[in-house]
Copies of this chain bind each other. A is one copy, B any other.
Amino acid sequence: MTSTTLHTKRLDYKPRRPDIFKTSIKNLAYETKSSIKSELTIAQLQEFFPSSIQKTPIRFIRQKQVQKQAKEQTKKITTPLSELRVGVILSGGQAPGGHNVIAGLYDGLKQLNTQSILYGFLMGTEGLVKNKHIELTDTLIDRYRNTGGFNIIGSGRTKIETPAQFESALQTVQECKLNGLVVIGGDDSNTNAALLSEYFIAHECSCVVVGVPKTIDGDLKNKYIESSFGFDTATKTYSELIGNIARDASSARKYWHFIRLMGRAASHITLECALSTHPNIALISEELLNNGSSLKEIINTITQVIIDRAQNGDYFGLVLIPEGLIEFIPDIRSLITEINALLADTRIKNFTTTEKRKSFVQKNLPSKLKEVFASLPSHISTQLLQDRDPHGNIVLSQIETEKMIIEMVNVELNSRKQKNKTVSPEIPFSHVAHFFGYEGRSAFPSNFDSNYCYSLGLCACTLIYNSLSGYMATIRGLANSTKQWEAWGIPLHSMMTIETRKGAKTPVIKKALVELNDKAFRYFERNRKSWALSSDYAVPGAIQYSDDEIGNTITHTLALEFPSPSHKKTQNHTKK
């Protein structure tokens, strides 16, 4: 890779460290926090996480603090090894900051002992299973500090599921003589980390397994995890583009922009971008599901805003659409379930053309879904009949929901122009469709993500040094000044629930959806009516990396959910 001016400059950026990590890792102890309520039953814990039943959240503190505090609450360090051998895996989709987790981990290990070794497993979990790794060195790490992407060692989506895979992973860990393994990933990868931890303990392998919360989608969060890394940079990149388009729309005054945003399950990205840019409409899947909104109702709502804005002479606007939308709309959800069943019907193999398959499906759907299926634009109903991904899911990123909505709104608008005398037949509806996803996954991490991820790496190192297996490295107090950030370990099993997958009861980390009672959503809810009509857009512009107020903003979501006196500011929104 060829370096650019910013690239060179970012390599030299020194992440801000929380005060806790200004102390040597050797001088840190931890206090245990009151036990947590697991969603798992004792029987389930005994089945899946027998070694973890007693685990509680822990918070790292300085030794001096420890001595001052009541001793029964804290654990002293029993002279652990200072020379550590650790492996690291990047798992799943890219999120800005992954390289900094590795850099923080590396620096922590070398601080403990310059002879410590860090291996990077190549292309995700597959590298662990097949023992494909490289040793990470100063030279290599220094080429990736504060850069985006996962290309230092690559990433992958393989899950460790079969007994043979678990066995191979153990074998690799033993061959490499690892004291620790760090899994940087989303909900599934962290579930995997928890299961590996148990498997190693059950097989008397002392390798500590630690998870790190990664995903731009923002859906890996809970009482303890305030935000997954990458969310900050990705949403700032998307908001840059949305804000630019908003400015363009209010200059040209003739286009409606429909912007679909990455984020399969939850609408956190769309919500954060809405808070950053004030679009006329932002669809939040969780709310639509909660309200039981039909596709028809959604189309009606958008059409009405277009008509209302046209009455002010505003023939332009911005609509944000979460990628996962169609799986949340109740009638489409039912439709997909029925289509899945029909696709499994052996008779469908007799129909060779898409048109014939469509009419087979149309004929065999339950009556109330026939109309929904017929109302879809042809390219969308075609896409719904296409092959599923290996997990049996529709390949969502390939369904152009924004175009579906545009077409259906167009039909509805035309129908109202004809039928409804109060709707002027002159209202123009020119539209542009966008999809933003890959642009934000590998951006240079913002200062926030650079600092956060570096701290997560140091935290993971500290967990390993303290032989705390089955924990997620956690940094808390993120809305405060970096100095005040706290380093925690949260037992992975405490985030789990049991689901039936491929017919078997399996522990999984639940994806955190947008909560309609959360402050972030409620702020949006209070303001959207005025945003719909006012064209009161906000234009955040490109991410700045200067180490000052502009470079150190946090997301609106974090600022709203954790309001606290802080030197940090969210985007300073003031009326101009």
A-side residues, CB < 8 A to B, are 1-11, 93-94, 123, 143, 147-151, 154-155, 237, 240-241, 243-245, 247-248, 250-253, 255, 257, 276, 278, 432, 434, 438-444, 535-546, 549-550, 553, 569, 571-576
Contact = CB atoms under 8 A, between A and B. Distances in A.
A576 B248 contact: no
A9 B550 contact: yes
B151 A247 contact: yes
Residue among A3, A7, A93, A143 with most chain B CB within 10 A: A7
A246 to B, nearest CB: 8
Contact of A541 (B6, B94, B441, B539): B6
Contacts of A432: 438
A100 B170 CA distance: 63
A346 to B, nearest CB: 28
A495 to B, nearest CB: 26
11 contacts: A1-B250, A2-B573, A4-B571, A5-B572, A7-B576, A94-B248, A150-B251, A244-B441, A257-B438, A444-B541, A542-B544
A154 B252 CA distance: 7
Given A6-B540, A151-B250, A539-B444, A241 B1 contact: no
A245 B541 contact: no
A251 B154 contact: yes
A527 to B, nearest CB: 10
Contacts of A240: 443, 542
Given A151-B251, A572-B8, A440 B244 contact: yes
A563 to B, nearest CB: 18
B2 A536 contact: yes
Contact of A539 (B9, B148, B545): B148
Contacts of A154: 251, 253
B248 A123 contact: no
A244 B252 contact: no
State the copy count for this chain: 2
A440 B277 CA distance: 16
Contacts of A11: 576
A507 to B, nearest CB: 28
A408 to B, nearest CB: 19
Residue among A4, A434, A553 with most chain B CB within 10 A: A4
Residue among A143, A434, A443 with most chain B CB within 10 A: A443
B574 A2 contact: yes
A276 B94 CA distance: 22
Given A148-B247, A541-B10, A542-B542, A3 B573 contact: yes
A553 B5 contact: yes
Nearest to A236: B542
Nearest to A148: B247
B443 A541 contact: yes
Contacts of A553: 5
Contacts of A573: 2-4
A376 B257 CA distance: 28
Nearest to A540: B4
A244 B237 contact: yes
A146 to B, nearest CB: 10
Given A150-B251, A245-B438, A438-B248, A537 B5 contact: no
Contacts of A5: 540, 549-550, 553, 569, 571-572
Nearest to A538: B2
Contacts of A543: 542
B444 A3 contact: no
A575 B3 contact: yes
Contact of A439 (B6, B9, B241, B549): B241
Contacts of A247: 94, 147-149, 151, 442
Contacts of A441: 244, 248
Nearest to A123: B253
Contacts of A250: 1, 149, 151
A545 B541 CA distance: 10
A439 B245 contact: yes
Given A150-B251, A237-B542, 7 more contacts: A1-B250, A2-B536, A3-B572, A3-B574, A8-B574, A10-B541, A237-B244
Contacts of A546: 544, 546
Contact of A538 (B1, B10, B276): B1
Contacts of A538: 1-4, 7
